[in-house]
Each structure stands twice: as C-alpha cells, then as structure tokens.
Amino acid sequence: MIDLKDLVRRNAKVQRFVKDCTPGPLDRYIGTLDVATARFNTILLKLSQEPLLLDEHALEVEECFDAIQSFYKNTMRLVQWHPIFKPFVRVMLHGIGTRRIPKIKRLVERINN
C-alpha cells in the first residue's frame, strides 16, 4: 500500500523549487511543475478521504509521482548543466511533458467522477 504522507514529503522539494524560482526563461517548465504538483496534491487529498480509491489507483499514483520527479530532475539539469547539453534536456522535458504529465490530469478527472 502507498504511504501518502511519504509521497507528500518526497514531493516537498519540488514545491519549494517552484515557490523559490523567479520569473525567467524557465517559466513554462516551472508552470508545468506547479500545475502538475497541484493536481497531484488534489489526487492525494481525494485518495486520503477514500481509501478504496487508493487501492484501485495505486499504480497510477506511483506513475504520476514518478513523472513529476522525472520532470523536476530534468528541469534541474536544465538549470545546472553546461549549455551544450540543454537542447537534449529540453527534448527530454518535452517527452515527459507530452506523454507522462497528462496522465496526472486524466487521473484527477477519473477520481473526481
């Protein structure tokens, strides 16, 4: 069974990063992280209220958490790595943002219905 408190704790660094980030060239990546973490927190809140749904959607919750963590890790790479690697990291972020991040929105919609 998934420990929801552990997911919230492990996701806190992403939320701190989004909060501390100043406006700049990474706005679209920061915005994606912000919306994804907000939706993920909505999912966790709803699942904490209905444990039967948690059992039903446990695998999807893990996938969503992993997608957020991957997007965060690659955003940090975009900030910290040498400029020669940034186009590669942007391609990675685009792939995560178009294939994995939308699963969070779909899960929110399924849980709310």
Number of independent structural domains in the chain: 1
Can you tell me the distance from the alpha carbon of 46 to that of 82, in angstroms, rounded to the nearest whole number?
A: 41
Task: List pLDDT tens digits, range 25-81.
Answer: 788 999 999 999 999 999 999 999 998 888 999 999 999 999 999 999 999 999 999
Question: Cα angle at 14 between 9 and 16, to 5 degrees?
Answer: 90
Structural domain boundaries, residue 11: 4-112
Task: List pLDDT tens digits, range 5-14.
Answer: 999 999 999 9
Q: Which residue in 59, 70, 62 sits closest to 95, CA to CA? A: 70
Q: List Cα–Cα distances, 59 to 53, 65, 69, 92, 103, in angstroms.
A: 11, 10, 15, 23, 12
The whole-model pTM stands at: 0.93
